[in-house]
Amino acid sequence: MPRPADPHARDALVSAARAEFARRGLRGARIEDITAACGLSKGAFYLHFPSKEALFGEVVGAFQSEMDALNARRLEAVERFVEAHGIPGPRDRVERSERYQRLVDLETAYDLEALELVWAYRDVSRVLVGGSQGTEFESLLWQVTNTQVSRVAQSFRRLQEAGAVDREMDPELFGSVIVGAYLLLSNQMAGMEQKPDLSAWARTLQKLCQEGTMPRLEVPRSVPGLAAPARAPRPPAPSTRRPQARAKTRSTRTPRNRP
């Protein structure tokens, strides 16, 4: 009767493979180097995975599944917030109302969770960006990126319809900026030995998202307590009239009598 596979061996192989993929890329990584790094045989490798591509695909799939689950939980949380409190409007954002601040705190918490996930899989992102050329995973990153851009753009359109954000901004471009920021941050994380302050990163991202998309609030003069912005006085226009000539004055001296 065959002996069951050791689950710890599987985890060791995945960990060693991820490090090898990050160093050499997917095509350059060798199974014998992966097994040597964790003290296992090639037979042990094939007992768990049919190929190194299958192993990498499983890791990428886990990353996608966790990110999709996070996005789903985030969407559900925001939906519950909107049902209970409504969407914060322009005045909420200008006045930093309690409702607005609670939504910012909610979004910041999910941004932090997303950054923690990106940190955990930063090596995978690095391989997808620069170490998967010539493999079946070469275009996967951009497929995932386009999906995320569409998701962010859809949420942004809903906020625009509610008047909560600037209606003149392009939703697709906004989504590209946000997802692009995450992509660049994941690439930066791959080269870091020490974990950065992800809480500060999450707060900064939300500050850019919220204050950078602030809608214009027209304040009517009749609203009590809110004065309309004062207009700066216009400088006087330069005069086009020619200066008047100085009037000649007659002399009041008495002329001398000639002899």
Which pLDDT band, with edges at 50, 70 and 90, does 244 fall under?
A: low
Residue 201 CA to residue 210 CA, distance in Å, equals 14
Residues 6+ apart with CB under 8 A from 185: 115, 118, 201
Whether pLDDT at 223 is above 70:
no
pLDDT digits (tens, 9 = 90+) for 152-181: 999 889 888 877 788 899 999 999 999 999
Look up residue 253 and give its DSSP letter.
S
Residue 177 CA to residue 237 CA, distance in Å, equals 45
What pLDDT score does 2 carry?
52
pLDDT digits (tens, 9 = 90+) for 230-241: 444 555 555 555
Residues 111 and 5 reside in one and the same domain: no
Residues 58 and 35 reside in one and the same domain: no
- Number of domains into which the chain is organized: 2
Whether pLDDT at 209 is above 90:
no
Whether pLDDT at 146 is above 70:
yes
We report the CATH number of the domain holding residue 205 as 1.10.357
Residues 36 and 123 reside in one and the same domain: no
Residues 43 and 78 reside in one and the same domain: no
Q: Residue 41 falls within a domain, yes or no?
A: yes
Domain membership of residue 33 as a residue range: 1-50
Residues 75 and 146 reside in one and the same domain: yes
